[in-house]
Chains A and B, each alone.
Chain A
Amino acid sequence: MPESDALTLPAPFLRWFAEKGWRPRAHQLELLSRAEAGESTLLIAPTGAGKTLAGFLPSLVALTRRGKVPPGSSFIGIHTLYISPLKALAVDIERNLMKPVAEMGLPVRIENRTGDTPQGKRQRQRLNPPDILLTTPEQLALLIANGEADRFFKDLRYVVLDELHSLVTSKRGHLLSLGLARLRRLAPDLQTIGLSATVAEPMDLQRWLVAQSEERENHAGLITVSGGAKPEISILRTDEHVPWAGHSARYAIADVYAAIKDHGTTLLFVNTRSQAEMLFQELWTVNDDNLPIALHHGSLDVAQRRKVEAAMSENRLRAVVATSTLDLGIDWGDVDLVVHVGAPKGASRLAQRIGRANHRMDEPSRAILVPANRFEVMECQAALDANYIGAQDTPPVGRGALDVLAQHVLGAACAKPFDAVDLHREITSAAPYADLSWETFERIVDFVATGGYALRTYERYARIRKTKDGLWRVSNPMVAQQYRLNVGTIVESPMLNVRMAKRNARGSLGRSGMTLGKVEEYFLEMLSPGDTFLFSGKVVRFEGIRENECLVSQAFSFDPKVPTYAGGKFPLSTYLAAQVRKMLADPMRRASLPDQVRDWLALQKDVSMLPREDELLIETFPRGSRHYMVIYAFEGRLTHQTLGMLLTRRLDRAGLKPLGFVATDYSLAIWGLDDLSSAFRARRPSLAQLFDEDMLGDDLEAWLNESFLLKRTFRNCAVIAGLIDQRHPGKEKTGRQITVSADLIYDVLRAHEPDHLLLEATRSDAATGLLDIGRLGSMLKRIKGHITHRRLDHISPLAIPVMLEIGKEVIHGEAHDFLLTEAADELMNEAMGTGHDG
């Protein structure tokens, strides 16, 4: 290291590096010198580059120079705030940071504060703050809503934001950006340090880190550390038959098990909880060597997860099957292989997961991709190409959500009375809210005060009021109490405890068994007592719901009856979708695919065709007594599902009586009794009409009215914005209760005040979130004039995967009244005491 650089470090640091035989890395010193020059900085570096130490170095150096604070000195607020997206990460970092700090003997106090921190410790932290506080966005929101926030943060110098790439794209990121804007007011000199994995648009993050002003766009400095050794990634080559459809990758179990045996510690990533459960179970059926293989996903009981994490960090496990709960930068000991089962759905996600192997930059990470079906083979190949060429497809930093803003405004009033003009200026300094108009802000304040209804009947119940001095303040202390209980942007979906129940001597079920974890209530609604499903690595038998618990018993069966326990599914990223389309169109790129996939595509070319990159292929064919239409849009399941809903509406109106549809990440199949081929040939309707962009107008509006997805989105917005409380002082409202009332409130609001702020927030969420309307819009634009229709006599090879999904899919919403008719019709055939009129 050059002498001049070394001079910037205080003696204990130099000694420590020397003792370890290490030297500070260039980017660590670069970040330090920029920080000391007063600059906020974004550090983009791959895993294992010493990001954490780099991020804390400016604080540690400054605190070392300051020295120990003599007892009896006047109150000093915290010096550095560290924010991480995960509680576990904050705790992990404390451990990792304490080690060098202790070894160097630095006079620095480090503590964490999460939802689990006991009340006494929180109290003590307020009176006697540590130098460095490690916490989460929710805790920050609580801290700044406190009346003593001024004092607590007055000496704040640095805010270190870890895993910034994953924070900024969500509502938590919006809430955090507002918290940061508030911190800048409390401590005008503070600087930010953002730590991030590689992202598509670093400039978005650079803007995010600093205050924006009306006059110009400001951005933080940027330090980029290029990746170390190229990862060694391969797609599993197998002699087994790769299935047409499905997500279980059962065919590959023997090969995956062999790979686990060949390596020290393997992390196996899957996309959903059901896949995790399935893979875990399959691995144990072939685990003849009794290797310690564990399971880790978000629905498991916390205690069970902690056990796995502890075993992992002590290198006692040979393999862990995990979902995205392990995506973020927790240190996982010596993982030397990452196996990714199922397609990664995004190039950046893949890169980050692979980064979990070998936390040392100079050694290449090893990873094996295991596609679960033939389309996934193409997707894996596309992701693999992308990883080598360094493509990034992280989602863009969105515009700040209005429900989050409402929560923040109430929080601001809880801290101390605010002046509306000042608060608006402060809020627009946060990048996601930089273009928030005064009018919208006023509507937000009105909403926070009385619900923002045109019918102004709630003035006397207002939660915040403008007083004579022109400041807005909370009406009573209850409001602040309520706010504190409900802070945050993570709305719990109704979840029930799953408990293993034992039968007692009389044969009835006791409740003494152990808790296995939590399961979404909507999943249980599909079950009847006696149904079996996979949970926590076991096949369990559903016994019933008792109060807030789901009772299950041992099933003594290896074949669960209900296969789907779908947790959240990632949609195929736009980038990868485009790559798959390119691959289909390009014979050169197809050549790199395994034989069985190449043969499949060649057959498709003979029987029908392979679409060009910009072309939308639609096939119609009869099968059995039905007619099918398959649309190869490659835009991800959410988009296809929305498209399916809208197209069936249109076909119905054209008199073509569609019966149903099913969507995968790659294509959409719609079926009905009428001959779709000849209808399209006769242009009744033409495909161009059917796929016209105007479907996003009235059809969308009409469908949204009834859509179950939009209701779920509304529920989240209503909870975040504080219209509905998730928790009341003294009593916890169950998720079920929230669901019921939110749906009814949604209906009433839609009928009476369709332009209400919360409905606006809901629609804007839906456009980007669950319904992916934005993506559907750009797709319809892209394919305009590029639709190719093939009329076939038989199913085509490319159609097989989606056709196999038919019958597996659960369709919410539309089919409801149809179901009722069916049940009622069955009744009609019975001789009943009650008749129907007419």
Chain B
Amino acid sequence: MHRLVHAMSAPPASATFHARTTVNGVAAICDPLGGLYLTESGTLVVSDLHLEKGSAFARRGMMLPPYDTLATLRILEAVIARHNPRTVISLGDNFHDRTGSAAMPETFRQMIAAMARGRDWIWINGNHDPDGARGLPGASMDELRHAGLVFRHEPSRIDAEGEIAGHLHPSATVRRRERSVRRACFATDGKRLLMPAFGVTTGGLDLRHRAMSGLFDRGKLVAHMLGRDRIYSVRYDNLIG
């Protein structure tokens, strides 16, 4: 829950709090709350919010806590407040299932409306929510070209150049001596960047997993891992010490 806790407090002044990177020549900041901020265009990218996951499960008889949507939106509020972006792009799997956006309680709608006020808001469609966001501000689309980059939910097998994608929930494992630590991460080789999942009840998939193979130039791949209160940047080859 450290992300939620830190979302509520001011960022500590530390040199390693953010990590700066470039994707296809476009400068970006990896925020430890899980958002990517493109400094020149004033664009904030988040991915895989999986809103209304709790209620999606409850509908099927598993009464998961109904607090995940609120928790995720709180962190989103914090990261938006921190960067005050002109544009917000939510990169798909914004809702855990098709019914999520229509069934979302009114209070959460108002929170999103307040966040979207005075900015452009883009919902990229994901595999969980291919029909777009209903009754919410902003535009829904499958893909967006913007600020010299291309934004889509699932990483493309053929078009890596300047792609920002989500879907895979990348995480990385650091191993030293006999211990290991696993954290969600931004994964980039300078050409493409995969976003960590932003939703509070989303799991992760290790960078070494088969589904990740062929996506990156591993020699240049860096995992910007979401730590307790900072980003830890570790080169792929250096994850296992």
Query: Would you call B225 an interface residue if the criterion is a C-beta within 8 Å of the partner chain's C-beta atoms?
Result: yes
Nearest CB on A from B200, distance (A):
6
Complex contact B176–A822 (CB within 8 A): yes
Q: A748-B200, A834-B222, A836-B15 are in contact. Are A826 and B62 (CB under 8 A)?
A: no
Within 8 A of A (CB), among B8-25: 14-22
Report chain A residues within 8 Å CB of B179.
Answer: 526, 810-812, 815, 819
Within 8 A of A (CB), among B64-93: 64-68, 70-71
Q: A823-B238, A833-B190, A834-B21 are in contact. Are A751 and B4 (CB under 8 A)?
A: yes
Complex contact A827–B71 (CB within 8 A): no
Within 8 A of B (CB), among A734-769: 737, 740-741, 744-745, 747-753, 756
Q: Quick one: which of A564, A824, A826, A827 has the most chain B CB within 10 A? A: A824
Report chain B residues within 8 Å CB of A815.
Answer: 179
Query: Would you call B105 an interface residue if the criterion is a C-beta within 8 Å of the partner chain's C-beta atoms?
Result: yes
Complex contact A453–B65 (CB within 8 A): yes
Q: Quick one: which of B55, B65, B201 has the most chain A CB within 10 A? A: B65
Report chain B residues within 8 Å CB of A452.
Answer: 63
Complex contact A824–B234 (CB within 8 A): yes
Query: Would you call A816 an interface residue if the criterion is a C-beta within 8 Å of the partner chain's C-beta atoms?
Result: yes
State in angstroms the CA–CA spacing of A479 and B62 once bound together.
Answer: 10
Query: Would you call A7 an interface residue if the criterion is a C-beta within 8 Å of the partner chain's C-beta atoms?
Result: no
Against A, the Cβ 8 Å flags (1 = close, 0 = not) of B220-241 are 1010010110001111001111
Complex contact B66–A836 (CB within 8 A): no
Query: Would you call A91 an interface residue if the criterion is a C-beta within 8 Å of the partner chain's C-beta atoms?
Result: no
Complex contact B61–A479 (CB within 8 A): yes
Binds B, one of A214-222, A376-384, A456-464: A456-464
Complex contact A741–B203 (CB within 8 A): yes
Query: Would you call A725 an interface residue if the criterion is a C-beta within 8 Å of the partner chain's C-beta atoms?
Result: yes
Nearest CB on B from A723, distance (A):
6
Q: A811-B179, A835-B20 are in contact. Are A820 and B63 (CB under 8 A)?
A: no
State in angstroms the CA–CA spacing of A479 and B59 once bound together.
Answer: 12
Report chain B residues within 8 Å CB of A752.
Answer: 65, 67, 70-71
Complex contact B66–A455 (CB within 8 A): yes
Report chain A residues within 8 Å CB of B152.
Answer: none
Q: How large is the interface on B (under 10, 10 to 19, 20 to 34, 35 or more residues)?
A: 35 or more
Report chain A residues within 8 Å CB of B61.
Answer: 461, 463, 478-479, 482
State in angstroms the CA–CA spacing of A377 and B227 once bound together.
Answer: 45
Query: Would you call B211 an interface residue if the criterion is a C-beta within 8 Å of the partner chain's C-beta atoms?
Result: no
Query: Would you call B158 an interface residue if the criterion is a C-beta within 8 Å of the partner chain's C-beta atoms?
Result: no
State in angstroms the CA–CA spacing of A794 and B234 once bound together.
Answer: 40
State in angstroms the CA–CA spacing of A832 and B236 once bound together.
Answer: 12
Q: A451-B58, A458-B58 are in contact. Are A820 and B202 (CB under 8 A)?
A: no
Complex contact A834–B203 (CB within 8 A): no
Query: Would you call B178 an interface residue if the criterion is a C-beta within 8 Å of the partner chain's C-beta atoms?
Result: yes
Report chain A residues within 8 Å CB of B70.
Answer: 752
Within 8 A of A (CB), among B176-195: 176, 178-181, 183, 190
Q: A457-B55, A822-B176 are in contact. Are A748 and B232 (CB under 8 A)?
A: no
Other-chain contact of B55, A458, A526, A835, A837 (Cβ < 8 Å) = A458
Q: A820-B225, A826-B238 are in contact. Are A526 and B174 (CB under 8 A)?
A: no
Other-chain contact of A451, B20, B65, B227 (Cβ < 8 Å) = B65
Complex contact A819–B58 (CB within 8 A): no
Report chain A residues within 8 Å CB of B67.
Answer: 453, 455, 748-749, 751-753
Within 8 A of B (CB), among A817-831: 817, 819-824, 826-827, 830
State in angstroms the CA–CA spacing of A57 and B29 once bound together.
Answer: 77
Query: Would you call A528 an interface residue if the criterion is a C-beta within 8 Å of the partner chain's C-beta atoms?
Result: yes
Complex contact B64–A834 (CB within 8 A): no
Report chain A residues within 8 Å CB of B138.
Answer: none
Complex contact A823–B176 (CB within 8 A): yes
Other-chain contact of A834, B65, B71, B175, B233 (Cβ < 8 Å) = B233
Against A, the Cβ 8 Å flags (1 = close, 0 = not) of B116-138 are 00000000000000000000000
State in angstroms the CA–CA spacing of A819 and B180 once bound together.
Answer: 8
Report chain A residues within 8 Å CB of B19.
Answer: 834, 836-837
Complex contact A744–B202 (CB within 8 A): yes
Q: A751-B1, A826-B238 are in contact. Are A461 and B66 (CB under 8 A)?
A: no
Report chain A residues within 8 Å CB of B18.
Answer: 836-837
Complex contact A528–B65 (CB within 8 A): no
A455 (CB) vs chain B CBs: closest residue:
B66
Report chain A residues within 8 Å CB of B238.
Answer: 823, 826-827
Ranked nearest first, the 4 interchain pairs of A and B with the lowest CB-CB distance are: A451-B63, A838-B15, A740-B203, A752-B67
Beyond A458-B63, A528-B175, A747-B200, list 10 extra A-B contacts (CB 8 Å): A450-B63, A451-B64, A455-B66, A457-B58, A724-B64, A752-B70, A820-B181, A827-B233, A834-B222, A837-B17
Which residues of B are at the interface with A, using a C-beta cutoff of 8 A? 1, 4-5, 14-22, 29, 55, 58-59, 61-68, 70-71, 105, 173-176, 178-181, 183, 190, 200-204, 220, 222, 225, 227-228, 232-235, 238-241
Sample (6) of A-B pairs whose CB atoms are under 8 Å apart: A749-B67, A751-B1, A753-B65, A817-B228, A823-B174, A834-B22
